[in-house]
């Protein structure tokens, strides 16, 4: 693990690191904020998954999470959204595919299979590295994210309910199998058999029997992607009668930007802290 930068913030340390990933066959960069409490005892960890076109840097620079994370004693890990590098396949004119658009899945179709193994990277390789390098209580993990990252957080939680105690999302893509800005990417990554897509679709996972205790979703009503890409009401319908708790908050005049995310970041951190103990 290489240290790219470290900066003191709110008594804790914001670091950016890189390592050679076997899952993605390239170097991966990620950010970790360590609160002051972690100098004396292991702390719970909260994974933040970013959205399309983003890297680890977007939430690190605009998410405004450090003050509250330091107060609550939360370690915040911010992975990248996809593999990077000159040898990694990409679609240069398509922001919904390739670099910056890994969708937190394991690709099965060429030329994407060698590098785009983001589900394995996020759920196996990176947690192993983080657990070795930082003072973390790995029995207390939560996950949240924005947009494509909200999709990733929800599907990862639904598939790993024994690992994660909490999950929330800002403007998530709740049904990417049928959303106009994710279905084409799913076909390229996973092939034309839509049955294979269901393991990476929150609504489909619930329909197929996956369960998680509860979710918090915040969504802006002025979000330009609301009607065709996000559609949180589909998840609200999917969880009816399942025992899955859902707090869905719709906010007037808020859009899809980090102005929206930073406004409700403290709410999400407190929500996770209550469930992580």
User: Catalytic residue numbers?
Assistant: 147, 223, 256
Q: Report which DSSP code applies to 125.
A: I
Count Cβ atoms below 10 Å from residue 136 Cβ, excluding itself.
21
| Class of residue 243 by CB neighbours under 10 A (exposed 0-12, middle 13-18, buried 19+) | exposed
Given a contact cutoff of 8 angstroms between Cβ atoms, the answer to whether 223 and 171 are in contact is yes
- Residues 6 or more apart in contact with residue 164 via CB below 8 angstroms: 141, 142, 143, 156, 157, 212
DSSP, collapsed to helix, strand or coil, labels residue 19 as: strand
Three-state DSSP class for 248?
Answer: strand
What is the phi-psi region of residue 30: left when phi exceeds 0, alpha when psi lies from -120 to 50, beta otherwise?
beta
Burial (0-12, 13-18, 19+ Cβ within 10 Å), 170: buried
| CA 168/CA 181 separation, integer angstroms | 21
CA distance 168 to 48: 10
Tell me how far apart the alpha carbons of residues 79 and 58 are, in angstroms, rounded to a whole number: 11
Instruction: State the Cα–Cα distance between residues 263 and 252, nearest whole angstrom.
Output: 13
Count Cβ atoms within 10 A of the Cβ of residue 194 and give its class: 0-12 exposed, 13-18 middle, 19 or more buried: middle
């Amino acid at each position: 693990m290489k240290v790219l930068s470290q900066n003191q913030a709110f008594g804790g340390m914001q670091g950016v690191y890189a390592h050679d990933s076997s899952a993605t066959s390239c170097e991966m960069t990620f950010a970790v904020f360590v609160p002051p409490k972690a100098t004396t005892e292991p702390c719970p960890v909260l994974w933040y998954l970013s959205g399309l076109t983003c890297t680890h840097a977007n939430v690190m620079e605009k998410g405004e999470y450090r003050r509250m994370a330091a107060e609550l004693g939360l370690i915040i890990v911010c992975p990248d959204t996809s593999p990077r590098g000159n040898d990694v396949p990409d679609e240069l004119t398509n922001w919904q595919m390739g670099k910056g658009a890994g969708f937190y899945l394991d690709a099965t179709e060429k030329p994407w299979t060698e590098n785009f193994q983001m589900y394995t990277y996020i759920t196996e390789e990176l947690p192993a590295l983080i657990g070795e390098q930082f003072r973390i209580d790995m029995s207390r993990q939560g996950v949240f994210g924005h947009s494509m990252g909200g999709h990733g957080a929800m599907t990862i939680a639904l598939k790993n309910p024994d690992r994660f105690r909490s999950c929330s999302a800002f403007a998530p893509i709740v049904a990417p199998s049928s959303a106009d800005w994710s279905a084409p990417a799913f076909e390229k990554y996973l092939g034309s058999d839509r049955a294979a897509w269901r393991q990476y679709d929150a609504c489909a996972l619930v329909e197929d029997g996956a369960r998680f205790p509860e979710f918090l979703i915040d969504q802006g009503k002025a979000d330009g992607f609301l009607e065709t890409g996000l559609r949180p009401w589909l998840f609200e319908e999917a969880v009816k009668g399942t025992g899955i708790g859902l707090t869905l908050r719709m906010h007037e005049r808020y859009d899809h930007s980090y102005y929206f995310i930073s406004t409700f970041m403290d709410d999400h951190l407190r929500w996770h802290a209550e469930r992580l103990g």
